[in-house]
Amino acid sequence: MNHQEIKEEEEAAVRWAGCLDEVHARIAGRFARSEQRQRARAYLQGLLRPIERKNGWQLAEAAGEANPYGYQELLSRAHWDADAVRDDLLDLVREKLADCTAVVVIDETGFVKKGTKSVGVAPQYSGTVGKIGNCQIGVFLAYASPKGQVLMDREIYLPHEWTDDRHRCEEAGVPEEMEFATKLVLARRMLERMLAHHLPCAWVTADSVYGADYHLRRFLTEHHIPYVLAVPPQNQIRMGLDEGFASVGVDEWFARKHSGRWYRLSAGWGSKGPRWFEWAWRKMDAEVPDGWQAWIVVRRSLTDPTEVVYHRVCAPKQTTLQQIVDVAGQRWKVEEAIERAKGECGLDQYEVPSWTGWYRHVTLSLVAQLCATMMVEQANTAREKKAWEQQSSPSSLQQFKCQRGLVVH
């Protein structure tokens, strides 16, 4: 390794430690005792390390500790509020990643579990395994901006078989006041928190589980937030006066209204290059804010024309089809963010069955992911700055610093 490579590694290590220290300083006040504040920092550091399994034993081993008892106490008995740390995370996302073009994505993921004791575990469908399996379901709110994609809020879904069994809930530490809430209700709660923390966004998008919910769509239009929401083919649309105001499925409505024109557009880059599909759109009559328009937008596979996805869209009238397609493509980026959170920040590598343990581990995992995203952003900024220094004039370098929000002396 030459001198330049050593210098770059040292600079990267400084940035890494700086990001961790900055984030930890924001949440440290949530921990009542100094040893728990340091334990939280060690936990975040362990989640960011390249460890095969980021459970208590392996985190302890990597930190040179004889047992995982300190980490287990942090996730169970220690005095701190995971929701307060989540609030700090939302504020950090606003400060570090906020962008007026950002897309907020509602998504869920499954955590495969054995047995019946882990909070919320039940036979239920999980996209993680592509079938019904014994698992927990976490609903997440993600923030996708030009500076990176992170998961910024979380809720665990409790099926009826849990909320109807108070003894089972008590054993898992579920708060007594907790009642059944659908995934849609959980999603709206997280959106309300996002708005309360003044996070700017240009769009909200989600799959058909959430797009089919009239109340969610109404919530977004009432707050003047444009959306691109997938809906199932049977999602109902009210026809006009000529059709007697009959309600039909979105697939039938589109078949009646579509002019037959399709546009080949890319929904962003995937692992194999641009994601090309055919797209079509049609205006629809709906109650929308002044200056807005509602559309049905359809995505069709290039190789299998029967493979289609329907979307309800509501946005300002000047919105283009390509903009809508770009927003729809953000869902793939967030799916990748979930996988990175699992693989790089231990999102699914916990061994705590309780309500408190789940929220504490998952919240710290999301904080660790924000740290990792900040590290990448700072590294990218450093590389771009170096390139400008080597190729540009002093006045151009000053312009670069202004664009990146750096202090100019």
What DSSP letter does each residue of 307-325 carry, written as one string? -EEEEEEEEETT--HHHHH
Half-sphere exposure of 378 (CA within 13 A, CB side): 19
Residues 6 or more apart whose CB falls under 8 angstroms from that of 63 comprise 42, 45, 46
What pLDDT shows up at residue 308? 96
Q: Is 226 exposed, middle or buried (0-12, 13-18, 19+ CB in 10 A)?
A: buried
CA 383 centroid distance within chain: 27
Three-class DSSP category at 207: coil
| Extents of the domains making up the chain | 3-77+361-404, 227-318
Q: What is the DSSP letter of 354?
A: S
**CB 404, CB 126: distance < 8 Å:** no
- 139, β-bridge pairs: 108, 155
Cα 55 from chain centroid? 22
Neighbours of 161 (CB within 10 A): 14
In whole angstroms, what is the distance from residue 203 CA to residue 152 CA? 16
In what helix (H) or strand (E) does residue 159 lie, and over which residues does it extend? Answer: none
Contact 311, 327 (CB under 8 A): no
CB atoms within 10 A of CB 11: 13
**Direct distance between the N- and C-terminal alpha carbons of the chain, in angstroms, rounded to an integer:** 34
pLDDT digits (tens), the chain, 409 positions: 665 555 555 566 667 778 899 999 999 999 989 999 999 999 999 999 988 888 888 898 888 888 889 999 999 999 999 999 999 999 999 999 999 999 999 999 999 999 999 999 999 998 877 889 999 999 999 999 999 999 999 999 999 999 999 999 999 999 999 999 999 999 999 999 999 999 999 999 999 999 999 999 999 999 999 999 999 999 999 776 566 567 899 999 999 888 889 999 999 888 788 999 999 999 998 889 999 999 999 999 999 999 999 999 999 999 999 999 999 999 888 888 899 999 999 999 998 999 999 999 999 999 999 999 998 887 766 555 566 555 665 555 555 555 555 444 3
By residue count, the chain amounts to 409
DSSP 121: -
CA nearest neighbour of 342 among 112, 69, 42:
112
The structure's pTM equals 0.88
Residue 385 contacts residue 405 (beta carbons within 8 Å): no
What is d(CA 81, CA 31) in angstroms, rounded to the nearest whole number? 8
Q: How confident is the model at residue 259, as a pLDDT?
A: 84
Angle at 48 between CA 42 and CA 50, to 5 degrees: 115
pLDDT of residue 57: 87
User: Which of 53, 93, 45, 42 has the alpha carbon at shortest distance from 368?
Assistant: 45
Q: What pLDDT shows up at residue 136?
A: 97
243: tokens are 């059709």
Among candidate residues 83, 269, 85, the one with its CA nearest the CA of residue 175: 83
Q: Look at residue 407 in the predicted model and tell me its pLDDT.
A: 44
Q: Which residues of 43-82 are buried (b: 16+ CB within 10 A; e: fewer)?
A: bbbbbbeeeeebbbebbbebbeeeebebbbebbeebebeb
- Reported as type and span, the H/E element at residue 112 is strand 103-112
Identity at 64, one-letter amino acid code: G
Distance (Å, whole) CA 262 – CA 60:
56
Strands 131-145 and 122-126 come out as: antiparallel
